[in-house]
């Protein structure tokens, strides 16, 4: 995905941020990584934990309501919608991630437990602990990219979603469908193809960082 495409579609990009928050986050900072177990390099830190640190402004391993708000604003969302969206996101994920001995303010998200926000009926490119599984990522394209080897069409995404559905997992069906449909909308190229590189940007955590950087660049040029 080129930066220009994303800058031209801030509302769609933010919608993706809202839907991907439990699974796909921005890039991490060393301070945030240290706050939830990283001694050096990437040891002990999952892909999801790294991604969540995009919103963890102070690097304490906890995403407060105000930090989610600030992150959404950085991605281009207006103040009113950022407030509502932050309340929704933290309201959903806080009870799932908060440990019994948690002392952070109410509605805070604990990054160390972010894996508890993973839903079913998806590609399994993240395992149950939030670690990136390269083999499963490659399977997405090996099994479903039939028109072009390194890209997915809209119909192929529908096939992928159908193949990944677990019986009775209606919440997972809706979540997976929403994520992939919006990813296709913001990531497809002029030929209507969602390239492998674009999908990888979501899984490796670089998407939100690039969106925020593109927004800053736009503001500086205004």
Q: Is the pLDDT of residue 108 over 70?
A: yes
Write the pLDDT tens digit of every residue in 123-180: 777 777 777 788 989 999 999 999 999 999 999 999 999 998 989 887 778 878 877 8
Question: Which residues form the domain of 171?
Answer: 3-221
User: What CA–CA distance (Å, rounded) separates 152 from 189?
Assistant: 11
- Percent of the chain with pLDDT strictly greater than 70: 77
- Does the predicted model carry a pTM greater than 0.85? no
Write the pLDDT tens digit of every residue in 11-54: 444 545 544 554 433 333 334 434 443 332 355 678 778 777 78
User: What CA–CA distance (Å, rounded) separates 28 from 10?
Assistant: 22
Q: Which of 19, 10, 17 is nearest to 177 (CA)?
A: 19
The confidence score (pLDDT) of residue 40 equals 29
pLDDT: which is higher, 193 or 179: 193
Query: Residue 132 has what DSSP assignment?
Result: B
Spatial contact of 55 and 26, defined as CB atoms under 8 Å apart: yes
Looking at the 3D structure of the chain, how many domains does it have? 1
Q: Which of 53, 51, 75 is nearest to 125 (CA)?
A: 51
Residue range 7-11: mean pLDDT, rounded: 43
Angle at alpha carbon of residue 87, lines to 131 and 126, rounded to 5°: 10
Give per-residue burial for 153-174: e unless 16+ CB within 10 Å, then b.
Answer: beebbbebbeebbeeebeebbe
The CA distances from residue 144 to 9, 27, 158, 219, in Å, are 27, 28, 10, 39
């Amino acid at each position: 995905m080129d930066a220009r495409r994303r800058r031209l579609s801030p509302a769609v990009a933010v919608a993706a941020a809202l839907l991907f928050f439990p699974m796909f986050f921005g890039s991490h900072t060393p301070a945030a990584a240290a706050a939830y177990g990283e001694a050096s390099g990437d040891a002990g830190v999952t892909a999801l934990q790294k991604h969540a640190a995009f919103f963890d402004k102070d690097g304490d391993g906890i995403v407060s309501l105000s930090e989610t708000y600030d992150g959404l604003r950085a991605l281009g969302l207006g103040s009113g919608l950022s407030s509502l969206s932050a309340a929704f996101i933290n309201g959903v994920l806080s009870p799932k991630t908060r440990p019994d001995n948690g002392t952070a303010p109410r509605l805070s998200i604990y990054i160390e437990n972010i894996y508890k926000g993973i839903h079913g009926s998806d590609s399994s490119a993240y395992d149950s602990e939030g670690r990136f599984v390269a083999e499963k990522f490659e399977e997405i394209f090996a099994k479903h990219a039939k028109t072009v080897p390194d890209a997915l069409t809209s119909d192929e995404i529908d096939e992928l979603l159908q193949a990944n559905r677990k019986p009775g997992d209606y919440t997972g069906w809706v979540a997976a469908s929403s994520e992939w449909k919006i990813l296709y909308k913001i990531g497809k190229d002029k030929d209507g193809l969602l390239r492998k590189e674009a999908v990888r940007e979501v899984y490796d955590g670089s998407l939100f960082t690039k969106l925020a950087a593109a927004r800053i660049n736009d503001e500086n040029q205004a």
